Chains A and B, each alone.
Chain A
Amino acid sequence: MSDAQAKVKVHVEKVNKSYGDNHVLRDISLDIAENEVVVMIGPSGSGKSTFLRMLNQLEMPDDGTIVVDGFNISDKSTDINKVRENIGMVFQSFNLFNNYSVLENIMLAPIETGKMDKAAAETKARQLLDTVGLSEKADVSVNSLSGGQKQRIAIARALAMEPDIMLFDEPTSALDPEMVGDVLEVMKNLAESGMTMIIVTHEMGFAKQVADRVVFFESGKIQESGAPKQVFDAPKNERLQEFLSKVMHA
């Protein structure tokens, strides 16, 4: 847990979401502090991805309040584009823009949102490519990259907007096993640099190592949350115990 004085970056209160009869999120409340790294685990369909996607309004809650960076994004009248500029998002399926080169992918948003001029955006992009270890790929088409490379570019693309929160939606689930390490390495470095991160993942080892807090979702509810040591070594919730016994032996 982060210390009590830390600034609250994300405030979620009594959020509900249904798709037809399927009640995917039930009365979720959660606060996330600045610089905190929160990892969300749970079985498929437990609502953790839906929850993550609400934090930048890719999904709208049916009721409840979500405040990110001081903006109430559960209110439709909030200018979501401005808020999103400060929230980076990394997807399971990368979603790199197929019609641009690697460098252009990273430069597009800073230029188009008016955040940087072209020269500044390029300097930033090359610097980020260096950070993720892919400097030599600047001018290639994104379709020629491997999955692991694509995901590292996607992270660089999100960082180009200089966000202060990063959301990761199962960033390694679509990768071949030998590619996972490179991506997790980049994320680890990011966490160490002090970025506020909210990560949905099935990588338990990574969660243990990097998370400040682990949140267990099941049936649309937060069943247990706490420090990794507590959640993984001394789970209280029965469903969490069951879940851990399955994933640890898999």
Chain B
Amino acid sequence: MKKILIFCIAFFAVLVTLVNIPNVSAAKPHYVITTDATYPPFDFQDKNNQYTGIDQEILKTIAKRQGFTYTLKPMSFNSATQSVSSGQADGVIAGMSITDERKEVFDFGTPYYRSGIGWAVKKGSDVKSLKDLKGKTVALKTGTSGADYALSVQKKYGFKVTYFNDSDTLYNDVINGNTQATFGDLPVIQYAVKNGTQLKVMNAKSPIEAGWYGFGVKKGDNAKLLTAFNKGFADIKADGTYDKIVAKYLGSSAATFTGNKKDNSSVLGILKSNDQAFLKGLWQTVLLTVLAIVLASIWGVFLGIMGISQVAGIRALSTTIIYIFRGLPLMVLAFFIYIGLPSVIGMKIPAFIAGLVTLILNEGAYTGAFVRGGFEAVEHGQMEAARSLGLPYGKSMRKVIMPQGLKIMIPSFVNQFIITLKDTSILSAIGILELTQTGTLIVSRNSQGFRVWAIVAAIYLIVITLLTWLSNWVEKRTRA
């Protein structure tokens, strides 16, 4: 017992050290700003895995001139906006159109870019007008004004819709013919086409519902940040910096920022040019997995012991906890903790902690269920014999039932460890830059879906193989 306790404390210590947010000089205000992970030319990663684009350069320039610092959190557009509305982040800049609906939730800064909705089909498609979409499927990006518009005319034109969280996967879906068209922000689609995406924009000259992009903060909060943004924006607009930034991104191809095409034509090239990103992603994945395995196992064994308690109330509590957290999809739980909880408890929860807690609750529930089952699988007579000799319940459990039960459970534990590793990929949804999210970002930059995902898949398989070896080794040692 003591050993486990020391283990726990050590792990929490490591955890706290690892996720500690770097100290920021007290003099300058510091903000957390979210953005869309893949929204070129507004938001995307350059060849050094740094975030760049029109939005990012505007933000960076304004921050410098207005004297504030910020931590950038790239994630899906939907999570980016929700993080701000739930108070997890202070502001969002993500090519976000200013709409009446969003004004209910956000305060917007000075509109900074004129945009509108465009629609596109695969090059060579026989869809010529919106009417041709009858019975076809349209790909939409979750939470965007393009998606809202498409839904508003869905009945009129009689098409079906399907949703994506990142632009690149969405474009590929249309190009591959799974879906027949997409609606999105006109400049973004045009930029993608300019950079070689095999789509055709159908309304280049006449954007639908033309509007403006705005920098958003939670309604009623962060007036100081908004004022700083507006002041800074007026400044860069006046001295021509703004025009230079826009011209810089719209006037050159993506390769200027994202690196030489040669690097992307081979697996080795991709690995070489992204080795730091892959390593960082892998580290996050491994860190999440190891912490989750250890903590979820402890929590699960605890739940399992509660599940066979002599007290009916404790058994019921264990059953209820297992029922709830086994029943909730991992992603729902992650969103609930990361986006739902903070506005209720009035405290920010870092994505890594939210993700780890999600894993502990979910994997711990599965662990609890098989731990309880394992203890119950130990012959009833073992307990009776121990009790008959005068051993108290707790001692009988520890000395006789648990060692036998744990042995029965070893294969289930190994299985759960592997599932935990794979489940970490789902946490990319709340913006944790683990291996899967790293893959998404790299693909969004180089459009090499096949090669990048093959690399990511191979890395997962290697880690799973190592984990299986380690588990088998431990299993053999406990058998001996």
Q: Which of A66-74, A89-97, A117-125, A235-243 contacts B (4 or more CB under 8 A)?
A: A89-97
Q: Which residue of A lies closest to B398 (CB)?
A: A112
Known interface pairs A91-B381, A93-B381, A112-B395; A99-B388 also in contact (CB < 8 Å): no
Contact among B379, B382, B392 with A81 in the assembled complex (CB-CB below 8 Å): B392
User: Does A109 sit within 8 A of B, measured CB to CB?
Assistant: yes
Q: Which residue of A lies closest to B393 (CB)?
A: A81
Residues 95 to 120 of chain A near chain B (Cβ within 8 Å)? 95-99, 108-109, 112-113
Contact among A58, A82, A93 with B387 in the assembled complex (CB-CB below 8 Å): A58
Contact among A96, A98, A113 with B390 in the assembled complex (CB-CB below 8 Å): A113
User: Does B386 sit within 8 A of A, measured CB to CB?
Assistant: yes
Q: Which of B40-48, B113-121, B400-408 contacts A (4 or more CB under 8 A)?
A: B400-408
Closest CB in chain B relative to A153 CB, distance in Å: 12
The answer to whether B388 and A87 have CB atoms under 8 Å apart is yes
Give every chain B residue within 8 A of A99 (Cβ-Cβ).
400, 403-404, 407
User: Does A149 sit within 8 A of B, measured CB to CB?
Assistant: no
The answer to whether A158 and B389 have CB atoms under 8 Å apart is yes
Q: Which residue of B lies closest to A83 (CB)?
A: B390
CA of A56 to CA of B387 in the docked complex: distance in angstroms? 9
The answer to whether A95 and B381 have CB atoms under 8 Å apart is yes
The answer to whether B384 and A84 have CB atoms under 8 Å apart is no
Interface size class of A (residues with CB under 8 A): 20 to 34
Q: Most chain-A Cβ atoms within 10 A of its Cβ — which of B381, B385, B386, B387?
A: B385
Closest CB in chain B relative to A87 CB, distance in Å: 7
The answer to whether B382 and A97 have CB atoms under 8 Å apart is yes
User: Does B399 sit within 8 A of A, measured CB to CB?
Assistant: yes
Contact among A95, A96, A112 with B391 in the assembled complex (CB-CB below 8 Å): A112
The answer to whether A109 and B403 have CB atoms under 8 Å apart is no
Tally inter-chain residue pairs, CB-CB below 8 A. 62
The answer to whether A91 and B385 have CB atoms under 8 Å apart is yes
Known interface pairs A58-B384, A89-B385; A97-B390 also in contact (CB < 8 Å): no
User: Does A48 sit within 8 A of B, measured CB to CB?
Assistant: no
User: Does A152 sit within 8 A of B, measured CB to CB?
Assistant: no
The answer to whether B384 and A109 have CB atoms under 8 Å apart is no
The answer to whether B389 and A84 have CB atoms under 8 Å apart is yes
Known interface pairs A112-B395, A112-B399; A98-B387 also in contact (CB < 8 Å): no
CA of A101 to CA of B454 in the docked complex: distance in angstroms? 51
The answer to whether B391 and A98 have CB atoms under 8 Å apart is no
Q: Which residue of B lies closest to A87 (CB)?
A: B388
Give every chain B residue within 8 A of A84 (Cβ-Cβ).
387-390
CA of A131 to CA of B381 in the docked complex: distance in angstroms? 25
Closest CB in chain B relative to A156 CB, distance in Å: 12
Give every chain B residue within 8 A of A58 (Cβ-Cβ).
384, 387-388
CA of A85 to CA of B386 in the docked complex: distance in angstroms? 11
Give every chain B residue within 8 A of A207 (Cβ-Cβ).
none
Give every chain B residue within 8 A of A213 (Cβ-Cβ).
none
CA of A154 to CA of B385 in the docked complex: distance in angstroms? 9
CA of A45 to CA of B388 in the docked complex: distance in angstroms? 22
The answer to whether B382 and A95 have CB atoms under 8 Å apart is yes
Q: Mark B358-386, 1 if CB is under 8 A from A, else 0.
A: 00000000000000000000010110111
Give every chain A residue within 8 A of B384 (Cβ-Cβ).
58, 89, 91, 95
Closest CB in chain B relative to A74 CB, distance in Å: 17
User: Does A17 sit within 8 A of B, measured CB to CB?
Assistant: no
User: Does A197 sit within 8 A of B, measured CB to CB?
Assistant: no
Q: Mark A142-160, 1 if CB is under 8 A from B, else 0.
A: 0000000000001001100
CA of A91 to CA of B389 in the docked complex: distance in angstroms? 12
Q: Mark A197-212, 1 if CB is under 8 A from B, else 0.
A: 0000000000000000
Known interface pairs A108-B399, A112-B395, A112-B399; A95-B385 also in contact (CB < 8 Å): yes
Q: Mark A43-67, 1 if CB is under 8 A from B, else 0.
A: 0000000000000101000000000
Known A84-B387, A93-B379, A108-B399; 19 more pairs at CB < 8 Å: A58-B387, A58-B388, A87-B388, A89-B384, A91-B384, A91-B385, A95-B379, A95-B384, A97-B386, A99-B407, A108-B391, A108-B400, A109-B386, A109-B389, A109-B390, A112-B399, A113-B389, A154-B385, A161-B389
Question: Could you list 20 A-B pairs, sorted by A, with CB under 8 Å?
Answer: A81-B390, A81-B391, A81-B392, A82-B390, A91-B384, A93-B379, A94-B381, A95-B379, A95-B381, A95-B384, A95-B385, A98-B382, A99-B404, A112-B399, A113-B389, A113-B390, A113-B391, A158-B388, A161-B389, A161-B390
Closest 6 CB pairs of A and B: A85-B390, A95-B385, A109-B389, A95-B381, A89-B388, A84-B390
